[in-house]
Structure 1
Amino acid sequence: MRTAVSGHLEHPAGNTAAILLELQNVHKRFGGLHAVDDVSFKVAAGSIKAVIGPNGAGKTTLFNLIAGNLPVSSGSITFLGRKIHTQKTHQIASLGMARTFQNIKLFHGMSALECVMVGRHTRSRSGFFGGMLSLPSTWKEERAIRARSMEFLDMLGIAELADVEATSLAFGQQRAVEMARALALEPKLLLLDEPAAGLNIYETAEVARLICAIRDMGITVLLVEHDMSLVMDISDEIVVLSFGSKLAEDTPANIQKNRDVIKIYLGEDEAV
């Protein structure tokens, strides 16, 4: 199955689509460890781009740099034409970037709907004093946030679970709630950190469908993932990391034939 849109992207070296995110010579050092080593690539608007590599390749560290969870040691990260590598996570989120995490992070004691409503915080205008004074405008906004959050739960097929405590749901359902919470920000760029981790084959197929549906909504997707079937099926372009450095960047078809990529995954120089 090849569900990514074909024909709207060119080879990475000659991509003419609008660039949403750009990394230039990004480094991250932890003492003597070079976790990310001179990584550069671009993400075109309207695309699904994957970052892959063996364990310890620097994938999650790279995501943390992009989202502002970690500061870069050197280099630059540009989002929507603005340098963001010196900004805080909430500032980057307010520009239109959302993310999920490899380990699901939901709030204990909250329903699925309430967890998604939290994701609308950047869209809220009432503020602390409006909530404290219980103004009519605050209640109106609260109703609007609730209704919009229900729409995202419905889009992901879990609207009937809205009132269930989120952390009591099955693992795949929790993953869907987390994705709905990220979508509640109505981002321009969605970072997905191993969205298929811990899912069975049927849940993984559903995640693939959802990611393509998100892209079709006009949201650009950058994902880190170990499931190669998922990556090859839905990605427009793939970046391969090895020991913190960019080993390759190309289309899925070319990545599958790249001998250097084959070596790091199989330890041998054979075609897959």
Structure 2
Amino acid sequence: MMLLEVNNLNRRFGGLQAVSDVNFSVHPGMIKAVIGPNGAGKTTLFNLISGALPPSSGAIHFKGLPIHGLPPFRIAERGMARTYQNIKLCPGMTALENVMIGRHCRSRAGFISGMLNLPWTRREEIAIREKSLELLALLDIADLAEVEATSLAFGQQRAVEFARALAMEPELLLLDEPAAGLNIYETAEVARLISTINQRGITVLLVEHDMSLVMDISHEIVVLSFGQKIAEGTPAEIQHNSEVIKIYLGEDDA
């Protein structure tokens, strides 16, 4: 069974067709990339899959069940997590505290039980802290656990964001331009982190402009142009696809 299936997906904003009859699927355990020029509909597609936007028509199935129209927190509960192009860490909180927030959909304690400081809520808090430290260690930033998160270098902030997403225990991780704003060395580190995450059995779907990163780590690639899928295949197949070359280089150069 496919982990994610997108079928005839459409999204209109007034007279603008941002996503048009897009179809693709994601096998469990793979890294799949969505690429395309600016305005191709990539982020809109991610917003549809993660529940931030409802589709105008079409269907999205996750683990065989329909999720189109569900709110983001319900989709997250089913095992999907997402990061954003612009890093969204909580200022004034440490890296560890930011990661602990990601456990909200896997914890049982509510507002009242937390105020009462019941024994089982204390045990849960300790377990959440230990799990969060484990994830920071996985991404080689355990030594930064008590550092205020927004004071970290940009690449380190991205790693904290990854760890927070992993704290939700996702089966599918959506990464929206994870290399945005990073230098060449930070981009290489992000590529390594994504591979590390994937090796733990987590399926990854990413939007990315950095073609070297995409070609290095992806198993399959979907190419969008003006909201439509124009190609899908392995990195080698995409590199030699005439339609893709035309979009990125221009018709004359192609």
Calculate the TM-score normalised by the size of structure 2: 0.98
The answer to whether the aligner puts 1:125 opposite 2:78 as a matched pair is no
The residue type paired with residue 251 of structure 2 is E
Residues in 2 aligned to 1:253 and 1:231: alpha-carbon distance in whole angstroms: 11
| 1:140 equivalent in alignment to 2:123 | yes
Q: Secondary structure at the match of 2:3?
A: strand
Letter in 1 for 2:247: I
Q: Give the secondary-structure state (helix, strand or coil) at the position aligned to 2:99.
A: helix
Identity %: 72
TM-superposed CA distance for 1:270, in Å, is 5.0
Question: For 1:191-226, what per-residue CA distance to the aligned partner results, in whole angstroms no more than 9, with x for missing partners?
Answer: 000011111111111111111111110100000000
| Equivalence for 2:81 | 98
Name the structure 2 match of 1:15: none
Partner of 2:214: 231
Answer yes or no: is the 8 Å Cα contact 1:26–1:75 preserved in 2. Answer: yes
Instruction: Specify which of 123, 130, 146 is matched with residue 163 of structure 1.
Output: 146
Unaligned runs of 5+ in 2: none
Are the counterparts in 2 of residues 123 and 185 from structure 1 also a CA contact under 8 Å?
yes
What displacement does 1:132 show?
1.4
What is the deviation of 1:168?
0.9
Q: How does 1:43-192 map to 2 (within 5 A)?
A: 43-192=26-175
CA contact (8 A) 2:155 2:190 kept: no
Tell me how far apart the structure 1 counterparts of residues 253 and 18 of structure 2 sit (CA, whole Å). 28
Structure 1 residue aligned with 2:226? 243
Q: Answer whether contact 2:47 2:53 (CA < 8 A) is retained.
A: yes
**Deviation of 1:269 (Å):** 5.4
Q: Distance in 2 between matches of 1:133 and 1:269?
A: 70
Alpha-carbon deviations, 1:159-190, whole Å to 9, x = none?
11111111111111111100000011110000
Displacement of 1:268: 3.0
Question: How many residues are paired up?
Answer: 254
What's the CA shift for 1:46? 0.4
Post-superposition shift, 1:138? 0.4
Does 1:23 find its partner at 2:6?
Answer: yes
**Which residue, out of 236, 244, 249, partners 1:253?**
236
> Match of 2:87, SS?
coil
Q: Does residue 1:214 correspond to 2:206, yes or no?
A: no
In 1: Cα distance, 2:155 partner to 2:181 partner: 8
Asked if 1:37 corresponds to 2:14, the answer is no
TM-score (norm 1): 0.92
For the aligned residue pairs, the C-alpha RMSD in angstroms reads 0.9
Cα deviation for residue 121 of structure 1 reads 0.5
